[in-house]
Structure 1
Amino acid sequence: MKALRNMLLWLTSTLLLIGCQGEVQYATPLRPVHYPIYFGSAEGRALIPVGGYLRITRPSTAISAIGFGGILVIHGFAGSGMADYYYAYDLACPKELDPAVSLMVSDKLEAVCPKCHSHFSIVYGGGLPIQGPAQSPLLPYRVLPIDGGILITTPEL
């Protein structure tokens, strides 16, 4: 729980710094997101190891919402000596803007578009393009701690 609180503090600080430097422009359309993940479930256990990730392409319940192209959640890194951090992004490539073109995760833990072959950094929370024609970062989602897991929600951009 302490790790998740630290993650929220780091994420808030990062967003404030980005806000001070100018507004980030996201190409992916913003759609509602509401998706709980419990670490005791089969789905949630995939996120327990650092580097573990989950691609969510269908809502799990009638009240779940998965954004424009789905959700990519990863147990990432926050730098040396830091605890667990979870990051979430829309699965749609910001270059293709097609919810049917879903990002995959490479062996290097980069999100990769199967159509335009753009690569995005995902393990440190940026979602920035690092290779290929994409210019916009991945649309990030908010990750909140809940009892026994995390809740992925729509960001406040």
Structure 2
Amino acid sequence: MKFFKHAYIPAGIAMLAAGVVGCKQLDNDRIPPAPVYIPFQSEDLWRLYGTPASPTFRYFIKSERQPSGYPYSALSETGYGGVLLVADIHNQPCAFDLSCPVEARRDVRIVVDTEKADAYCPRCHSRYSIYSNGGIPTSGPALDDSYGLQRYSVTYGQNGEYITVTR
């Protein structure tokens, strides 16, 4: 019984040290607030412009009319630097702001790397996990500073719409 009593003390100290030293809070709210509203009125519209299966992705940038042909309305908004819509490894839609959280500028956007199945910033070279782990940094200054991608909500069946992306 004495062994177990004394074994808990070093284990407790090790867990406390790991929690204090190794646990950095991820900051995924560095992008300035901007409205996001991308509605998909029907399943057909979702299949055409959305991301119905992994590993698909789509850029939504209203000012550049991306994707081409998407029916933007006066109410449509695409965040600070645009929206990256992906289908994750479980075929669930996820949305992120396209602005790099290290640079935090509208004109510095992350780019999807289809060969590495992630996204990267061409300016600071940070890389992000977009198909799993919800936009966490995997390398570069974003990892050093714990800056994750700004996430947006993807909801089903609100206000008569099939799927909606919002802030």
Correspondent of 2:150 among 131, 136, 139: 139
Query: What are the ranges of 5 or more consecutive residues in structure 1 without an aligned counterpart?
Result: 1-20, 79-83
Equivalent-residue separation in structure 2 for 1:65 and 1:148 (angstroms): 16
Distance (whole Å) between structure 1 residues aligned to residue 98 and residue 47 of structure 2: 17
1:79-98 matches, within 5 Å, as 84-98=91-105
* Structure-2-length-normalised TM-score: 0.68
Deviations 1:26-57 (A, max 9, x none): 21112111111354238745512311111111
Percent identity over the alignment is: 29
- CA distance in 2 between partners of 1:104 and 1:98 (Å): 14
| Pairwise CA RMSD | 2.4
1:52 aligns with 2:65: no
Which has the larger share of strand?
1
What corresponds to 1:123 in structure 2? 131
**TM-score, normalised by the number of residues in structure 1:** 0.72
Give SS of 2:62's match. coil
Contact 2:49/2:58 (CA < 8 Å) preserved in 1? no
User: What do the CA deviations read for 1:93-134 (whole angstroms, capped 9, x no partner)?
Assistant: 000111011111001221111111111011125211101111
Task: Report what 2:111 is aligned to.
Answer: 104
Q: Which residue of 1 aligns with 2:122?
A: 114
8 Å CA contact retained: 2:130, 2:136: yes
User: What residue identity is the alignment partner of 2:53?
Assistant: P
Which residue number corresponds to residue 77 of structure 2? 65
SS in 2 for 1:73: strand
Cα offsets for 1:58-92 (capped at 9, x unmatched) = 162210111111100101124xxxxx311000000
Residue of structure 1 in register with 2:33 after alignment: 30
